[in-house]
Amino acid sequence: MRNLRATSKDSLNGQPISPPKAQKIDDDYLCQVSGSVSCGACCGLYNVANDSRAGIEALLAARSRRFATTPRTVEDILRFRRAIEQHENQERPLSDFHHCPYLGLVGPRQETVGCLLHPLEPLNRGLDFRSLSHYGGMTCHIYFCPATRLLPARYKQMLRAVVMDWYLYGLLVTEHRLLQAIFEEIEYRLNRPVFLDDFREHPEACRALEDLLGLRIAWPFRPSERAQLVNYFFNDNRHPRPVISPPAGEPNIERYRTILQELETRTDTAGHLRRAELYLDSQFRFLQECLQS
């Protein structure tokens, strides 16, 4: 999560605050989209015991209320961290992926995921307190996740325009392999590149794409033991997605291998992979029809 390109790793933080007039947030900037949609995935947003929307919202809101009454001194900010860590459940799906206690809700209506230590937060009065965090100020300032570099601008623009839900957006945005494979499949079916204008001209296609992207949360073929949604996307690849292969005696995967793998499709049940392929097929076919109507 992050903010303005001009201050770069404001990448570890989606700030909701408007940029100074001379700065411009590019229309393919992934960390912050609007006053209600931003990303905090690289600060460990989803690496919490209760990763439901309601659970994360409650967590961030409680922190933000508490931080609003925290004096801006080094001692008090560090005391805030200790208090948060004492009061909140510290069990993590990924124990080696830091979850930052300074992640909260920011912005005029306190409804955007963002960094409570960021200098653009009004109560910080222009001071950057991110040096007090686990990663340190420099990392918080300069880090950008792989998706920000690897996805083509047109894919990023479509993602920003179509996903209106912060919870889904933050879960999707780091999924560069999944997103690349989904957009490539759409382009393969249309036999041409797709652009944001395609979706502006076809509102129904917009909804169909949002449904397709929503499978990141609602994928019905994920094994129950992989219910937690956190994605480890750092370059050291410490938690790769399991490689999928069909059970003995079943045909090989015909299509959608990357999508099936990135969605963590279960393979231990007879016919499961084939049903998952057919499910994806119908979703893509509907989207294709919308775009061609």
Could you tell me the smallest distance in angstroms from the CB atom of residue 227 to ligand SF4? 21
CB-nearer residue toward ligand SF4: 154 or 207: 154
CB-nearer residue toward ligand SF4: 177 or 266: 177
Closest CA to 165 of 103, 101, 211, 100: 211
83: number of CA atoms within 13 Å, CB side? 13
CB-nearer residue toward ligand SF4: 14 or 93: 14
197: number of CA atoms within 13 Å, CB side? 1
Could you tell me the smallest distance in angstroms from the CB atom of residue 184 to ligand SF4? 20
Q: Are strands 103-106 and 112-115 parallel, antiparallel or unpaired?
A: antiparallel
Crossing angle of the two packed helices 203-213 and 176-190, in degrees rounded to 10: 140
Ordered alpha helix ranges (H), the chain: 53-68, 74-87, 137-142, 146-150, 153-162, 166-172, 176-190, 196-201, 203-213, 215-218, 257-262, 272-292
Q: Which residue has the tokens 């079916």?
A: 189
Nearest 5°: the CA angle 50, 54, 58 is 85
CB-nearer residue toward ligand SF4: 17 or 100: 100
Could you tell me the smallest distance in angstroms from the CB atom of residue 43 to ligand SF4? 3
CB-nearer residue toward ligand SF4: 9 or 202: 9
Could you tell me the smallest distance in angstroms from the CB atom of residue 135 to ligand SF4? 5
For residue 223, give the DSSP letter.
Answer: -
Element of type H or E holding 5: none
DSSP conformation letters of 59-70: HHHHHHHHHHTS
CB-nearer residue toward ligand SF4: 163 or 205: 163
Could you tell me the smallest distance in angstroms from the CB atom of residue 2 to ligand SF4? 5
The contacts of residue 66 (CB under 8 Å, 6+ apart) are 80, 83, 84
Binding residues (CB under 6 A) for ligand SF4: these are: 1-2, 11-14, 30-31, 39, 41-43, 100, 102-103, 115, 117, 130, 133, 135, 140, 144-145, 147-148, 173-174
Element of type H or E holding 104: strand 103-106
CB-nearer residue toward ligand SF4: 7 or 11: 11
Could you tell me the smallest distance in angstroms from the CB atom of residue 113 to ligand SF4? 9
Could you tell me the smallest distance in angstroms from the CB atom of residue 242 to ligand SF4? 22
